[in-house]
Amino acid sequence: MKNTKNIIIGIILVIIGIILAGNALDLFDINLFFDGWWTLFIIVPCLVGIINDDDKKGNLIGFIIGLLLLLACQHIINFEIIWKLFVPIIIIIFGLSLIFKNSVNKELNKKIKELDNKSKENYTSTFSSQRINIDDEFKGTTINAIFGGVTLDLREAKIKDDILIETSSIFGGIDIYVPKDVKVIVKSNSIFGGVTNKKESNGKNTHTIYINASCLFGGVDIK
Protein backbone atom coordinates (compact mmCIF):
# COMPACT_ATOMS: atom_id res chain seq x y z
CA MET A 1 0.00 0.00 0.00
CA LYS A 2 2.82 2.36 0.86
CA ASN A 3 4.44 1.80 -2.55
CA THR A 4 1.12 2.38 -4.33
CA LYS A 5 0.65 5.66 -2.48
CA ASN A 6 4.14 6.81 -3.40
CA ILE A 7 3.57 5.85 -7.05
CA ILE A 8 0.32 7.84 -7.25
CA ILE A 9 1.90 10.93 -5.68
CA GLY A 10 4.94 10.51 -7.94
CA ILE A 11 2.78 10.38 -11.08
CA ILE A 12 0.96 13.55 -10.03
CA LEU A 13 4.25 15.37 -9.46
CA VAL A 14 5.59 14.22 -12.85
CA ILE A 15 2.44 15.48 -14.60
CA ILE A 16 2.73 18.86 -12.84
CA GLY A 17 6.40 19.06 -13.82
CA ILE A 18 5.63 18.29 -17.47
CA ILE A 19 2.90 20.96 -17.55
CA LEU A 20 5.22 23.57 -16.03
CA ALA A 21 8.00 22.65 -18.48
CA GLY A 22 5.62 22.76 -21.45
CA ASN A 23 4.34 26.17 -20.40
CA ALA A 24 7.90 27.46 -19.99
CA LEU A 25 8.85 26.25 -23.51
CA ASP A 26 5.60 27.57 -25.03
CA LEU A 27 4.67 24.05 -26.16
CA PHE A 28 1.21 24.52 -24.68
CA ASP A 29 -0.56 26.80 -22.26
CA ILE A 30 -2.22 24.98 -19.38
CA ASN A 31 -3.24 27.04 -16.39
CA LEU A 32 -2.59 25.06 -13.20
CA PHE A 33 -3.96 27.86 -11.05
CA PHE A 34 -7.62 27.58 -12.02
CA ASP A 35 -10.35 28.71 -9.65
CA GLY A 36 -10.20 26.43 -6.66
CA TRP A 37 -6.85 24.80 -7.53
CA TRP A 38 -5.97 24.76 -3.83
CA THR A 39 -8.77 22.26 -3.14
CA LEU A 40 -6.63 19.62 -4.86
CA PHE A 41 -4.46 19.63 -1.73
CA ILE A 42 -7.55 18.27 0.05
CA ILE A 43 -9.01 16.09 -2.70
CA VAL A 44 -5.89 14.24 -3.88
CA PRO A 45 -4.52 13.12 -0.47
CA CYS A 46 -8.00 12.02 0.63
CA LEU A 47 -8.54 10.11 -2.63
CA VAL A 48 -5.21 8.34 -2.16
CA GLY A 49 -6.20 7.61 1.43
CA ILE A 50 -9.51 6.08 0.34
CA ILE A 51 -7.62 3.71 -1.95
CA ASN A 52 -4.79 2.79 0.41
CA ASP A 53 -5.46 3.58 4.05
CA ASP A 54 -7.25 1.41 6.59
CA ASP A 55 -9.34 4.39 7.62
CA LYS A 56 -11.86 5.14 4.86
CA LYS A 57 -14.41 7.31 6.64
CA GLY A 58 -12.17 10.24 7.53
CA ASN A 59 -10.71 10.31 4.03
CA LEU A 60 -14.19 10.08 2.50
CA ILE A 61 -15.40 13.07 4.51
CA GLY A 62 -12.33 15.07 3.48
CA PHE A 63 -12.78 14.10 -0.18
CA ILE A 64 -16.45 15.16 -0.22
CA ILE A 65 -15.65 18.48 1.48
CA GLY A 66 -12.81 19.15 -0.97
CA LEU A 67 -15.05 18.31 -3.92
CA LEU A 68 -17.80 20.62 -2.66
CA LEU A 69 -15.31 23.46 -2.21
CA LEU A 70 -14.01 22.91 -5.76
CA LEU A 71 -17.55 23.02 -7.15
CA ALA A 72 -18.18 26.22 -5.22
CA CYS A 73 -15.00 27.83 -6.57
CA GLN A 74 -16.12 26.85 -10.06
CA HIS A 75 -19.49 28.54 -9.33
CA ILE A 76 -21.37 25.28 -9.90
CA ILE A 77 -22.77 25.50 -6.39
CA ASN A 78 -22.53 28.33 -3.89
CA PHE A 79 -20.79 28.39 -0.54
CA GLU A 80 -24.08 28.83 1.28
CA ILE A 81 -25.13 25.33 0.19
CA ILE A 82 -21.81 23.94 1.43
CA TRP A 83 -22.35 25.31 4.92
CA LYS A 84 -25.87 23.90 4.91
CA LEU A 85 -24.62 20.45 3.86
CA PHE A 86 -21.44 20.34 5.94
CA VAL A 87 -22.89 19.04 9.20
CA PRO A 88 -25.54 16.75 7.60
CA ILE A 89 -22.88 15.00 5.48
CA ILE A 90 -20.69 14.31 8.50
CA ILE A 91 -23.66 13.03 10.50
CA ILE A 92 -24.84 10.77 7.65
CA ILE A 93 -21.40 9.24 7.08
CA PHE A 94 -20.83 8.74 10.79
CA GLY A 95 -24.30 7.23 11.20
CA LEU A 96 -23.78 4.81 8.30
CA SER A 97 -20.46 3.72 9.78
CA LEU A 98 -22.18 2.93 13.08
CA ILE A 99 -24.95 1.00 11.33
CA PHE A 100 -22.63 -1.16 9.25
CA LYS A 101 -19.54 -1.39 11.45
CA ASN A 102 -20.59 -4.74 12.93
CA SER A 103 -21.74 -6.21 9.62
CA VAL A 104 -18.36 -5.55 7.99
CA ASN A 105 -15.30 -7.49 9.14
CA LYS A 106 -17.27 -9.64 11.54
CA GLU A 107 -14.27 -11.86 12.21
CA LEU A 108 -12.17 -8.82 13.11
CA ASN A 109 -14.82 -7.49 15.49
CA LYS A 110 -15.10 -10.92 17.10
CA LYS A 111 -11.34 -11.18 17.60
CA ILE A 112 -11.12 -7.68 19.11
CA LYS A 113 -13.92 -8.54 21.52
CA GLU A 114 -12.11 -11.72 22.56
CA LEU A 115 -8.88 -9.81 23.25
CA ASP A 116 -10.56 -6.86 24.97
CA ASN A 117 -10.22 -8.24 28.50
CA LYS A 118 -6.48 -8.82 28.09
CA SER A 119 -5.64 -5.09 27.91
CA LYS A 120 -4.31 -4.24 31.37
CA GLU A 121 -2.30 -1.02 31.19
CA ASN A 122 -3.75 2.42 30.55
CA TYR A 123 -1.78 5.46 29.41
CA THR A 124 -3.27 8.94 29.05
CA SER A 125 -1.64 12.15 27.87
CA THR A 126 -3.60 15.40 28.18
CA PHE A 127 -1.96 18.65 27.07
CA SER A 128 1.38 16.87 27.42
CA SER A 129 3.47 14.13 25.87
CA GLN A 130 4.98 10.91 27.13
CA ARG A 131 7.08 8.03 25.84
CA ILE A 132 6.58 4.44 26.98
CA ASN A 133 9.32 1.88 26.33
CA ILE A 134 8.40 -1.75 26.91
CA ASP A 135 11.20 -4.32 27.17
CA ASP A 136 9.43 -7.15 29.00
CA GLU A 137 6.26 -9.15 28.32
CA PHE A 138 3.50 -7.05 26.77
CA LYS A 139 -0.16 -8.08 26.90
CA GLY A 140 -1.87 -5.04 25.41
CA THR A 141 -2.83 -1.57 26.54
CA THR A 142 -5.18 1.39 26.19
CA ILE A 143 -3.77 4.75 25.07
CA ASN A 144 -5.53 8.12 25.18
CA ALA A 145 -4.02 11.26 23.65
CA ILE A 146 -6.10 14.39 24.26
CA PHE A 147 -4.42 17.55 22.99
CA GLY A 148 -1.21 15.66 23.58
CA GLY A 149 1.04 12.93 22.27
CA VAL A 150 2.01 9.41 23.25
CA THR A 151 4.84 7.27 21.87
CA LEU A 152 4.69 3.53 22.59
CA ASP A 153 7.88 1.64 21.72
CA LEU A 154 7.38 -2.13 21.54
CA ARG A 155 10.45 -2.99 19.50
CA GLU A 156 12.09 -4.74 22.46
CA ALA A 157 8.86 -6.08 23.96
CA LYS A 158 8.18 -9.79 24.37
CA ILE A 159 4.87 -10.61 22.69
CA LYS A 160 3.81 -14.19 23.34
CA ASP A 161 0.26 -14.08 21.98
CA ASP A 162 -2.12 -11.98 19.89
CA ILE A 163 -2.77 -8.69 21.67
CA LEU A 164 -5.05 -5.66 21.44
CA ILE A 165 -4.12 -1.98 21.65
CA GLU A 166 -7.04 0.41 22.11
CA THR A 167 -6.29 4.00 21.10
CA SER A 168 -8.21 7.25 21.35
CA SER A 169 -6.70 10.42 19.89
CA ILE A 170 -8.61 13.68 20.19
CA PHE A 171 -6.63 16.59 18.77
CA GLY A 172 -3.62 14.47 19.59
CA GLY A 173 -1.19 11.98 18.11
CA ILE A 174 -0.06 8.47 18.96
CA ASP A 175 3.07 6.78 17.59
CA ILE A 176 3.42 3.02 17.98
CA TYR A 177 6.69 1.23 17.15
CA VAL A 178 6.16 -2.51 16.74
CA PRO A 179 8.57 -5.47 16.48
CA LYS A 180 9.50 -6.74 13.03
CA ASP A 181 8.10 -10.23 13.61
CA VAL A 182 4.47 -9.26 14.27
CA LYS A 183 1.54 -8.58 11.99
CA VAL A 184 -0.59 -5.46 12.49
CA ILE A 185 -4.33 -5.33 11.80
CA VAL A 186 -6.17 -2.03 12.18
CA LYS A 187 -9.78 -1.18 12.91
CA SER A 188 -10.36 2.56 12.71
CA ASN A 189 -13.31 4.77 13.57
CA SER A 190 -12.17 8.28 12.71
CA ILE A 191 -13.41 11.73 11.76
CA PHE A 192 -10.89 14.26 10.41
CA GLY A 193 -8.09 11.95 11.42
CA GLY A 194 -6.96 8.42 10.86
CA VAL A 195 -4.46 5.62 11.20
CA THR A 196 -1.32 5.26 9.09
CA ASN A 197 0.15 1.77 9.10
CA LYS A 198 3.78 1.91 7.94
CA LYS A 199 4.64 -1.53 9.28
CA GLU A 200 5.98 -3.72 6.50
CA SER A 201 5.51 -7.47 6.82
CA ASN A 202 8.62 -9.61 6.63
CA GLY A 203 6.64 -12.81 6.04
CA LYS A 204 7.76 -14.32 9.38
CA ASN A 205 5.04 -13.05 11.68
CA THR A 206 4.67 -14.88 14.97
CA HIS A 207 1.69 -13.03 16.45
CA THR A 208 -0.75 -10.25 15.57
CA ILE A 209 -1.21 -6.84 17.15
CA TYR A 210 -4.77 -5.55 16.71
CA ILE A 211 -5.18 -1.77 16.79
CA ASN A 212 -8.70 -0.55 17.61
CA ALA A 213 -8.45 3.19 16.99
CA SER A 214 -10.79 6.14 17.42
CA CYS A 215 -9.57 9.48 16.08
CA LEU A 216 -11.15 12.92 16.18
CA PHE A 217 -8.88 15.54 14.62
CA GLY A 218 -6.07 13.23 15.64
CA GLY A 219 -4.08 10.32 14.32
CA VAL A 220 -2.15 7.12 14.97
CA ASP A 221 1.12 6.22 13.24
CA ILE A 222 2.25 2.60 13.31
CA LYS A 223 5.90 2.11 12.44
pTM (2 d.p.):
0.61
Sheet holding 182-191, edge to edge: 121-126, 141-146, 163-170, 207-216, 182-191
Tally of CA atoms within 13 A in the half-sphere of 175 that contains its CB = 12
Tally of CA atoms within 13 A in the half-sphere of 43 that contains its CB = 13
What tens-digit pLDDT sequence spans the chain (223 residues)?
455 666 777 787 788 888 888 888 888 777 777 888 888 888 887 777 777 655 566 677 778 888 888 888 888 888 787 778 777 877 777 676 666 655 556 777 777 777 875 656 788 899 999 999 998 888 889 999 999 999 999 999 998 889 899 898 888 999 999 988 888 988 887 777 778 888 776 667 778 899 988 887 888 999 8
Contact (Cβ atoms closer than 8 angstroms) between residue 184 and residue 158: no
Contact (Cβ atoms closer than 8 angstroms) between residue 112 and residue 210: yes
Instruction: Give which of 132, 129, 126, 130 is closest to 165, Cα–Cα.
Output: 132
